[in-house]
Chains A and B, each alone.
Chain A
Amino acid sequence: MKEQLQAIREEALKAVKSCADMKEIDSLRVKFLGKKGELTAILKQMGGLSADERPVIGQLANEIRSDIENAVKDKTNTLKSAMTDLRLRTETVDVTMPGKRRLIAKRHPMNIVLDELKSIFLGMGYTVVDGPEIEETKYCFDMLNTLEGHPARDPQDTFYITDDVLLRTQTSSVQIRTMLKEKPPIAIISPGRVYRRDEVDGTHSPIFHQCEGLVIDKNITFADLKGTLEVFAKKLYGEGMKLKFRPHHFPYTEPSCEIDFQCFRCGGKGCPLCKGEGWIEILGAGVVHPKVLENCGIDPEEYSGFAFGIGIERITMLRYEIEDMRLLYENNMKFLEQF
């Protein structure tokens, strides 16, 4: 029996050594070590041995089993790592090939910019307010101190529905509605669509978008307007942004100003974007005219405020260097997918 066991060991170790794949090693394991395997078969004959022989043979059998098991295990590990190596060698891909994408479409560039404006002002304590686009003249003009006979009211420049209903020319009408409805403190922005009777060309559109802002509270000053817009500019274009406040005129603010931003492309040195000026006109603003407050039932001796307006098209075009306004409304996919 000893010889038989030794022979099994010889045979098994030899077979394992020459084995070349996982399938074969598995069948060898079954052949020699399995429940119906050769080793088991021999051990079953142990009952016929003497009490002296039994432990000796038993020990030998266990040794042999452990030898074969180790050999199988080592061989399995060797084969496995060889297989892994082979797999890794053969599975190399060209990682510069394009990925498999699931398309996420793009927001319209003007809304990308508008969302940014909204989040800046929300962070400063403002609320976004909406209002009708078809508006009464009293909200769009009269109460904003733009009286009958003012050129802005001319049908040459403004679309009318009836004598006293029009397509709003500014979102300031939303400010009037807000002031009539709510008591100060008020801090709102009113982004939206506005209409002026301009023919479509590269820099004009009869429909365009504004984002106007209004703050009414106690002790609001021109200095507060300056500070607010400077913070806004820095959030939009970075800490280094510089502003220039130029006197201007609007019927609903006094004093009024236009605000130039230092050219964000050339930093003020002068380039084609700023037409060599180093500055780009971005905003109109001013301290709310006391007459406007009175019109809305707000006591100008108790409250004051400021208002400002930004053209969304303008900052969108400047930001993405879009040279023709028509592209914004043409909605060509080749344009829309760029943002």
Chain B
Amino acid sequence: MDLSMKWLNDYVKADMPIKEFCDGMTMSGSKVETYSAQGADITNVVVGKCVAMEKHPDADTLWVCQIDVGGEAPIQIVTSAQNVFVGAFVPVALNNATCYNHKDMSYMKIKKGKLRGVPSEGMMCSYEELGLEQSDVPYTNADGILILNDDPEFDKMTVGMDIHDALGFNDTTVEFEITNNRPDCLSILGLAREASATFDLPLNVKEPQFKGVDGSAKDFINVEVHNTKLCSRYMAAVVKNVKIGPSPRWMAERLKASGVRSINNFVDITNFVMLEYGNPMHAFDLRYVEGGKINVRNARQGEKITILDGSEVTLSPEMLIIADEKKPIAVAGVMGGEFSGIMEDTKTVVFESACFDGVSVRMTAKKINKRTDASSRFEKGIDPINAKAALMRALELVEELGCGEVVREYIDIDNAKKVPHTLKHDPDWINAHLGIDIPAEEQVAIFKKLGFGYDNGTVIVPNTRIDIERQCDLAEEVARIYGYNRIPSTLPMLSSVGEVTPRQRFEKKMVDVMLSQGFYETMSFSFISPRSYEKLRFDDSLKNSVSLTNPLGEDTSVMRTSMLPSLMTVCSTNLRARNLEARFFEVGRIFQPTGEKLPAESDVLGLCAYGSEEDFFTVKGVVEELMDALVIDARFVPVKDNKTYHPGRCADIYVGEEKVGTIGELHPAVTDAYDISCRVYCAEVNIPKLFDAKGEERKYKPLPKYPAVTRDLSLVCDDEVTSDEIIAVIKSSAKHLESVAVFDMYKGEQVPEGKKSLSYKLVLRKDGSMTDEEADAVVAKVLKALAEKNITLRA
């Protein structure tokens, strides 16, 4: 909402410095985005009078003019314009003035100099050089210098006067960001009311009145409202013998400062009233209302209308329209029809002021893709009582401008029959809600400043304040006018207890382990492209995902069912950025349809690594370290049929009988699909499952008193035998075994084809010294057990 300060000052004398005004309004709830002084970039331009002129001695097309700019002597200006004459009042850019250069849309400095050898001390300006438009100065039509003698307010101009003041081009516009509970503040009067309350200044608003001429609007038109739900009030007034012409300067100025171009007096009146009262209006030319009939009805299927902007719109039955006897003449609350509007030769005008349903207007405007000033106001809610005030104001303006005869009796079909809302005032509740102690009388004073009525403990809410429904709304009024920053600050006496839950501690530990293992934490989008499922060769169970009905694009159209799509994007991004070695992890959420209303959501730890240092076991080592830190006994079970992974380098991770995740090297087809030329290792672990599987905190074990004996065994077995199987045999057959770990794997010339060699370190310890003989006996037993599985000592 752009507020003209001139306009505001018609109602409230808010003449404090503009910064103070803006800060005050912001702090009372009407947030100021910015403000700008009109024509602030045009400087040092004054009114001058041409007192003498002669042809340039050396140039036929140039004139040497003597211009009185209020100084002791006239100044000399050379011009090529041909429309200046002795006695002409003109805008004069003095030495060092700034003007607008409309050709390259920038500002230019004016310096004194010489034109064809004759000194020139400034420049006379056209309207464009003042940054104005033709509609700002409708009386000029020549290209040349702006001749001020034609201005309607010429008699108020004096030589030497600043051009902004002379042309009324001296307003300040304040831009407000109005919250959507306050549509009343999308009007000059609403903001005037706020300014009056904020700065405690009187508000001078009179109820609009018109005299009118005898007659009734019904003699001209007949209005029928067919859908009273979507149109709770419809008012129509007729103005006859209209004289279409330009608006007076004060009106044009105020419109311009509000960002609205002046068109003609009747169109301007509707815009002026909309801005002043916040109530959109429409003006029809009676000639084009066929049959003198106005029907407020739903559109018929396939009905069409060409609207004011010249585009043809196809209507549908849920849309409310204004139609004459035969055809639609306006889309209710959105835009008028092309031929029903005001023309140069319009003789009789029908003013419409109505109250259309906000949701309906919004849907219609959206469907036909025409959001207008009017529709956005209706969307937020229009008050039926205000609709009448707006109409009265329009009729008052017609008489003030003397541009037509108002037919006294107007049409009013009011199905809203709104009565002002009242609320019992509970000052103690308000104080308790806010944590302050403002006396009841002071609260009432605030209500009155804001235009509320007050009668014996009852607050009467102004009809435009549709946001005030209950006591807490009154509390807000008190708080914001009293001043939020004057309310004390206290700390609540909380009876709650803060807590980090075991699950939160678990996740924190997980993150700490990942960071300590050199994995950087990422944060990626949880919606992804369904194409990534193909790239990752997911099977149907993982492809089945929650889809958005209105995604921004295909790339972000489904909710991920795995962290892999996100991790792959991270890998691609980094490889493209030439980060050739990297480890990443993310605790992210995945989503799976359940058939219930809401899908299942679970948090997953996803990790990936690539680079010359990485292999399956470096990444597995990370997972092992993680499991160890979380006190989880995990198993890695080979998986050959997971198409996402390398068939020989993939394992499911189990805790007990529960599968908690998967680890592996990605299948080359997957890395190819992502245009990645190196090997990528990934793992995913389901956090809730892991959390459920976590073990008890470890207890202390006494430190060993006796030395351990170690024995290294190099074994040969078939390729298919897994290390886990061998370890299981060792564990079950070795007495006094403290630990066993594989430390080497060999395949090649030294062992037969189809076989491999694995080396283990056994640490044996007992409660007492262990002799070599005892240790050898243990090893012998282990070897015997291994031999039964066809695992032998390497020769």
Query: Residues of A at under 8 Å CB distance from B?
Result: 103-108, 110-111, 121-128, 132-136, 149, 151, 155, 159-162, 165, 167, 185-187, 193, 197, 199, 206-207, 215, 217, 219-224, 226-228, 230-231, 244-249, 251, 254-257, 287, 289-291, 304, 328-334, 336-337
Given A187, A230, A328, which contacts B489 in the complex, CB threshold below 8 Å?
Answer: A230
Task: Tell me the minimal C-beta distance from B729 to chain A in angstroms.
Answer: 36
Whether A105 contacts B492 by the Cβ 8 Å rule is: no
- Among residues of A, the one whose C-beta sits closest to the C-beta of B360 is A149
| A222 CB contacts on chain B under 8 angstroms | 433-436, 475, 479, 487
Whether B479 contacts A333 by the Cβ 8 Å rule is: no
Can you give 29 contacting A-B residue pairs, CB < 8 Å?
Answer: A104-B518, A105-B514, A105-B516, A108-B521, A127-B496, A127-B499, A134-B546, A134-B598, A151-B379, A197-B550, A206-B556, A207-B526, A215-B494, A221-B492, A223-B487, A223-B489, A227-B488, A227-B491, A227-B492, A244-B485, A254-B475, A255-B434, A255-B476, A255-B479, A290-B471, A331-B573, A332-B577, A333-B577, A334-B577
A304 to B429, CA, bound (A): 11
Known: A220-B492, A221-B435, A336-B520. A248 touches B497 (CB 8 A): no
Task: Tell me the minimal C-beta distance from B470 to chain A in angstroms.
Answer: 7
A165 to B549, CA, bound (A): 10
Whether B525 contacts A226 by the Cβ 8 Å rule is: no
A218 to B433, CA, bound (A): 11
Known: A132-B601, A227-B492, A255-B480. A245 touches B485 (CB 8 A): yes
Task: Tell me the minimal C-beta distance from B186 to chain A in angstroms.
Answer: 14
Whether B577 contacts A133 by the Cβ 8 Å rule is: no
| B546 CB contacts on chain A under 8 angstroms | 134, 161
| A121 CB contacts on chain B under 8 angstroms | 498
* Stretch of B26-34, B92-100, B394-402, B782-790 at the chain-chain interface: B26-34
| A160 CB contacts on chain B under 8 angstroms | 548-550
Given B487, B491, B522, B591, which contacts A108 in the complex, CB threshold below 8 Å?
Answer: B522
| B551 CB contacts on chain A under 8 angstroms | 159
Whether A289 contacts B523 by the Cβ 8 Å rule is: no
Whether B434 contacts A245 by the Cβ 8 Å rule is: no
Whether B27 contacts A247 by the Cβ 8 Å rule is: yes
Known: A185-B496, A221-B435. A107 touches B511 (CB 8 A): yes
| B154 CB contacts on chain A under 8 angstroms | none
Whether A256 contacts B31 by the Cβ 8 Å rule is: no
Count CB-based A-B contacts (< 8 Å): 229
* Stretch of B71-79, B136-144, B175-183 at the chain-chain interface: B175-183
Task: Tell me the minimal C-beta distance from B489 to chain A in angstroms.
Answer: 4
| B29 CB contacts on chain A under 8 angstroms | 246-248
- Among residues of B, the one whose C-beta sits closest to the C-beta of A189 is B498
Task: Tell me the minimal C-beta distance from B106 to chain A in angstroms.
Answer: 23
Query: Residues of B at under 8 Å CB distance from A?
Result: 26-29, 31, 179-182, 358-359, 362, 379, 432-436, 467, 470-473, 475-476, 479-480, 484-485, 487-501, 504, 511, 514-527, 546-552, 556, 559, 569-570, 573-574, 577, 579, 582-584, 589, 591, 597-599, 601
Whether A248 contacts B31 by the Cβ 8 Å rule is: yes
| B591 CB contacts on chain A under 8 angstroms | 133-134
Main secondary structure of the interface of A (DSSP, over half): mixed
| B570 CB contacts on chain A under 8 angstroms | 331
Closest 8 CB pairs of A and B: A223-B435, A221-B435, A247-B29, A249-B179, A255-B476, A227-B489, A245-B484, A187-B496
Known: A127-B499, A149-B359, A247-B476. A228 touches B491 (CB 8 A): yes
A277 to B29, CA, bound (A): 18
- Among residues of B, the one whose C-beta sits closest to the C-beta of A256 is B476
Whether B495 contacts A185 by the Cβ 8 Å rule is: yes
Known: A134-B599, A162-B549, A334-B577. A254 touches B492 (CB 8 A): no
| B473 CB contacts on chain A under 8 angstroms | 254
Whether A246 contacts B520 by the Cβ 8 Å rule is: no
Whether A329 contacts B489 by the Cβ 8 Å rule is: no
Whether A105 contacts B515 by the Cβ 8 Å rule is: yes
A227 to B492, CA, bound (A): 8
Known: A247-B29, A329-B523. A217 touches B491 (CB 8 A): no
Whether A149 contacts B470 by the Cβ 8 Å rule is: no
A61 to B278, CA, bound (A): 125
Known: A133-B589, A134-B601, A217-B496. A255 touches B475 (CB 8 A): yes
Task: Tell me the minimal C-beta distance from A154 to chain B in angstroms.
Answer: 8
Whether B488 contacts A226 by the Cβ 8 Å rule is: yes
Given A247-B27, A287-B472; 18 other pairs, CB 8 A cutoff = A105-B521, A122-B500, A125-B497, A133-B601, A151-B180, A159-B548, A160-B549, A161-B549, A185-B494, A224-B491, A226-B489, A247-B476, A248-B29, A248-B179, A255-B434, A328-B523, A331-B574, A336-B522
| B514 CB contacts on chain A under 8 angstroms | 105
Whether B494 contacts A221 by the Cβ 8 Å rule is: no
- Among residues of B, the one whose C-beta sits closest to the C-beta of A216 is B496
A331 to B369, CA, bound (A): 38
Whether B598 contacts A331 by the Cβ 8 Å rule is: no
Whether B492 contacts A217 by the Cβ 8 Å rule is: yes
- Among residues of B, the one whose C-beta sits closest to the C-beta of A259 is B484
| A127 CB contacts on chain B under 8 angstroms | 496-499, 501
A320 to B226, CA, bound (A): 60
Given A122, A193, A332, which contacts B589 in the complex, CB threshold below 8 Å?
Answer: A193
A121 to B500, CA, bound (A): 11
A244 to B26, CA, bound (A): 11
Given B180, B521, B556, B559, which contacts A336 in the complex, CB threshold below 8 Å?
Answer: B521
A291 to B601, CA, bound (A): 30
Whether B518 contacts A105 by the Cβ 8 Å rule is: yes
Task: Tell me the minimal C-beta distance from B551 to chain A in angstroms.
Answer: 7
A149 to B359, CA, bound (A): 6
Whether B494 contacts A331 by the Cβ 8 Å rule is: no
A332 to B546, CA, bound (A): 28
Whether A333 contacts B582 by the Cβ 8 Å rule is: yes
Given B496, B550, B582, which contacts A159 in the complex, CB threshold below 8 Å?
Answer: B550
- Among residues of A, the one whose C-beta sits closest to the C-beta of B429 is A301
Whether B435 contacts A149 by the Cβ 8 Å rule is: no
Whether A249 contacts B435 by the Cβ 8 Å rule is: no
A105 to B488, CA, bound (A): 45
Task: Tell me the minimal C-beta distance from A274 to chain B in angstroms.
Answer: 15
| B573 CB contacts on chain A under 8 angstroms | 330-332
Given A126, A134, A135, A197, which contacts B552 in the complex, CB threshold below 8 Å?
Answer: A197
Given B436, B487, B496, B519, which contacts A126 in the complex, CB threshold below 8 Å?
Answer: B496
| B471 CB contacts on chain A under 8 angstroms | 290
A155 to B358, CA, bound (A): 17
- Among residues of B, the one whose C-beta sits closest to the C-beta of A290 is B472
A294 to B524, CA, bound (A): 37
A330 to B591, CA, bound (A): 22
| A167 CB contacts on chain B under 8 angstroms | 548
A37 to B324, CA, bound (A): 138
Whether B489 contacts A333 by the Cβ 8 Å rule is: no
Whether B519 contacts A105 by the Cβ 8 Å rule is: yes
| A161 CB contacts on chain B under 8 angstroms | 546-549
Task: Tell me the minimal C-beta distance from A249 to chain B in angstroms.
Answer: 4
Most buried by B among A197, A221, A257: A221
| B179 CB contacts on chain A under 8 angstroms | 248-249
Whether A224 contacts B504 by the Cβ 8 Å rule is: no
Task: Tell me the minimal C-beta distance from B3 to chain A in angstroms.
Answer: 17
Given A107, A165, A226, A290, which contacts B515 in the complex, CB threshold below 8 Å?
Answer: A107
| B559 CB contacts on chain A under 8 angstroms | 134
Given A186, A197, A219, which contacts B432 in the complex, CB threshold below 8 Å?
Answer: A219
A275 to B579, CA, bound (A): 35
Whether B484 contacts A247 by the Cβ 8 Å rule is: yes
Task: Tell me the minimal C-beta distance from B518 to chain A in angstroms.
Answer: 4
- Among residues of B, the one whose C-beta sits closest to the C-beta of A286 is B476
A133 to B517, CA, bound (A): 30
- Among residues of A, the one whose C-beta sits closest to the C-beta of B380 is A151
A72 to B746, CA, bound (A): 56
Whether A106 contacts B515 by the Cβ 8 Å rule is: yes
| A187 CB contacts on chain B under 8 angstroms | 494, 496, 498
A179 to B601, CA, bound (A): 21
Given A110, A165, A217, A329, which contacts B598 in the complex, CB threshold below 8 Å?
Answer: A165
